[in-house]
Structure 1
Amino acid sequence: MTQTTLPGPQSPTSAQRPLVAVTGADGFIGSHLTEELVRAGYRVRAMAIYNSQGSYGWLDTVPAETMQHVEVQLGDVRDAGSVRALMRDARTVYHLAALIAIPYSYVAPRSYVETNITGTLNVLEAARDLGTGRVVHTSTSEVYGTARTAPIHESHPLQGQSPYSATKIGADKLAESYHLSFGLPVVTLRPFNTYGPRQSARAVIPTIISQVAAGRREIRLGDLRPTRDFNYVADTARAFRAVGEAGDEVLGRTLNAGSGREITVGDTVKLIGQVMGAQLNVTQEDLRLRPEGSEVMRLLADHTELSRLTGWQPEFTLEEGLKRTAEWFTDPVNLARYRVDQYTV
């Protein structure tokens, strides 16, 4: 695949900034991480998925003063050449590119293997060849499956309850193997359920908020019983930077990033109703349910190790994060980006 590099305008001070690379920078968390890194004084080489429109995804909405310090490369993590070009001369690579929609993983599991596992292999191989200073690999709380003990420590058993989580387990173990086999400086961050502005409406919080913002009071959802540990996206972005900047004691480690608060989907609906000043009812739809045995019923993070090794702590309460998310979605320009009336896997 031919990779395309499209540099943004650079101020004289931009070239003096240390260079880091981000895969998946056009996505939800990746775009927020890019902003966080620029604020912290880095120059970012950002990969956005190649497309004929030249879209940078969510990076198109990032302020111009931030993008002065961002060089966007259109490419694909499945292509080793794209990845190598992205990572050349970068001191740290933050690997966030992945297919993440759980429902679509039931439909197209092979594409998840190719992106999530092969893409990770390409990052690890490039880092090994280029001598990259650190790889920050992205995991997910979904790899734990339904919690057997809570809060969930990093030593909790892994269980692939969806093709998506199975590919992430494979990618996590591949990253671990490159550290143990080749001494590659890898650290894995395992975020729990991140939410906030720019998130896909496939996720439960934007599903609810976007429907309310569109004027609905009868909210269509799947199972209301599962519990989740929701972490506001700004806190997740800070967690990525924390492990990227921490001392070598984090290398070879997997570290949870979560709020440490557990709430059911049903109670999340009630809380969003309070935040948005709306009385909400719920209609459960079968097409939004996971297959039997695939639903993860309980997630609650133990982030003790991340805090101990980096000093990171979540700063946003769920109520504060929901308020900020609701404010973003109720902006007509932002809401217009979502097909509220259409459920897409």
Structure 2
Amino acid sequence: MNLKGKKLLVTGADGFIGSHLTEELVRSGYDVRAFMYYNSFNSWGWLDHSHPEVKQKIEVFLGDIRDPHGVKEAMKDCDIVFHLAALIAIPYSYHSPDTYIDTNIKGTLNVLQAARELGVEKVVHTSTSEVYGTAKYVPISENHPLQGQSPYAASKIGADQLALSFYYSFSTPVSIIRPFNTYGPRQSARAVIPTIISQIATGERKIKLGHLSPTRDFNYIQDTVRGFMEVAQSERTNGEVVNIGSDFEVSIGETVETIAEVMEVDIDIETDPQRMRPKKSEVERLWADITKAKKLFRWQPKYGGKAGFKQGIKETAEWFSHPDHLNQYKADRYNI
């Protein structure tokens, strides 16, 4: 599917991945409407920091993904919907699980209902590698069992299954992209890589962290954005779930060492109990099988493997270390 001449909607456009995706779509010459969470400050989130030429070309819709009327209004005249709006912080899902059900499941239902009623050509629904829980085998294929080891993961499993149900029940053209741990500029400090980098960038040498043994498949933001665009354009992804990852497994401990090496500092690690997930909730191992993405639309990571990971860390650290960017973070406080 050629996106040229199509009207594209990005929900969650004010967030980390959503802002990068929105900018790349605009730079590619596409007609983009950005759905962002309403606030009285008229803030566009990270899109406030976009280049003026990009901001001028974005059509902004402020609303709430939990409101079916507003969602349908935002989707009118749109051909393709990239649905990213969600609550994503795992620790906060322990604190307020009800909000995750409303936002992640009910919000997704609102998008699907509107897509069905309006005849939208395609919905790209955003999943997460957290739905797999601790790997039963690696690399993890799309057929891996789903395990809700946190309220967040459970809400995303529910949203994913709802999306697939609309494809099977009503032939709603839905594709599910399942990114593994995306990182890069603008990511919230609740995530481990920005947590480490922001602490170092502010001069800390005793870095507070939780468990160091779990492994992750970290995927650089540019690769994730390309994955979204490829899924949207592929005619073969309707009704499919597709992993997007770096095909590289690294522990949190090794990640700390890589960041320290790139930032040229010596650090000590201090275990912070409040940063540790409950034992049975911790996802111990994630490593993506990306065979399906390669097969369906020949996607593969540009930042894959150890060298690619190190380059992605370098670019991320450079962004966070800029004073204008670092000042937007509270590195001395734990953000759930």
Cα distance in 2, alignment partners of residues 219 and 91 from structure 1: 46
2:100 to 112, 128, 132: 112
Cα distance in 1, alignment partners of residues 333 and 136 from structure 2: 35
| RMSD across aligned positions (CA) | 0.8
Cα distance in 2, alignment partners of residues 318 and 90 from structure 1: 36
In the alignment, what sits opposite 1:344? 335
Cα distance in 2, alignment partners of residues 340 and 155 from structure 1: 38
In the alignment, what sits opposite 1:7? none
In the alignment, what sits opposite 1:232? 220
- Matched to 2:16, the amino acid is F
2:270 to 280, 283, 305: 283
- Secondary structure of 2:335's counterpart equals coil
In the alignment, what sits opposite 1:158? 146
- For residues 7-64 of structure 1, give each alpha carbon's deviation from its aligned partner in whole angstroms, at most 9, with x where no partner exists: xxxxxxxxx9531000000000000000111122211100110001010000101111
Give the deviation of 1:68 after TM superposition. Answer: 2.2
Cα distance in 2, alignment partners of residues 240 and 214 from structure 1: 33
In the alignment, what sits opposite 1:296? 283
- Matched to 2:295, the amino acid is R
- Alpha carbons 1:19, 1:89 under 8 Å: kept: yes
In the alignment, what sits opposite 2:156? 168
Cα distance in 1, alignment partners of residues 98 and 116 from structure 2: 26
- Matched to 2:323, the amino acid is P
- For residues 214-247 of structure 1, give each alpha carbon's deviation from its aligned partner in whole angstroms, at most 9, with x where no partner exists: 0111100000000000000011011000000111
1:219 matches 2:210: no
- Alpha carbons 2:6, 2:80 under 8 Å: kept: no
- Matched to 2:195, the amino acid is T
Give the deviation of 1:108 after TM superposition. Answer: 0.2
In the alignment, what sits opposite 1:147? 135
- Alpha carbons 2:216, 2:286 under 8 Å: kept: yes
- Alpha carbons 1:17, 1:41 under 8 Å: kept: no
- Alpha carbons 2:10, 2:32 under 8 Å: kept: yes
TM-score by length of 1: 0.94
Greater Cα shift, 105-114 or 35-44: 35-44
- Secondary structure of 1:278's counterpart equals coil
1:184 matches 2:175: no
- Matched to 2:57, the amino acid is H
1:103 matches 2:91: yes
Runs of 4+ deviating beyond 3 Å: none
In the alignment, what sits opposite 1:133? 121
- Matched to 1:292, the amino acid is K
Cα distance in 2, alignment partners of residues 49 and 230 from structure 1: 27
- Secondary structure of 1:30's counterpart equals helix
Cα distance in 2, alignment partners of residues 304 and 80 from structure 1: 36
In the alignment, what sits opposite 2:257? 270
2:31 to 43, 50, 55: 43
1:313 matches 2:300: yes
2:72 to 72, 77, 84: 84
- Matched to 1:326, the amino acid is A
- Alpha carbons 2:219, 2:246 under 8 Å: kept: yes
- Secondary structure of 2:85's counterpart equals coil
Cα distance in 1, alignment partners of residues 73 and 100 from structure 2: 23
TM-score by length of 2: 0.97
- Secondary structure of 1:187's counterpart equals strand
2:246 to 259, 267, 270: 259
- Secondary structure of 1:20's counterpart equals strand
- Matched to 1:122, the amino acid is N
| Unaligned segments of structure 2, at least 5 residues | none
Cα distance in 1, alignment partners of residues 29 and 120 from structure 2: 19
In the alignment, what sits opposite 1:8? none
- Matched to 1:330, the amino acid is S
- Alpha carbons 2:8, 2:30 under 8 Å: kept: yes
1:330 to 321, 324, 327: 321
- Matched to 2:252, the amino acid is V
- Matched to 1:343, the amino acid is Y
- Matched to 1:35, the amino acid is E
1:63 matches 2:51: yes
In the alignment, what sits opposite 1:13? none
- Secondary structure of 2:243's counterpart equals strand
Once the two structures are aligned, what percentage of the paired residues are identical?
57
Cα distance in 2, alignment partners of residues 69 and 310 from structure 1: 28
- For residues 273-298 of structure 1, give each alpha carbon's deviation from its aligned partner in whole angstroms, at most 9, with x where no partner exists: 11111112100111100012000000
Give the deviation of 1:187 after TM superposition. Answer: 0.3
State the number of aligned residues: 329
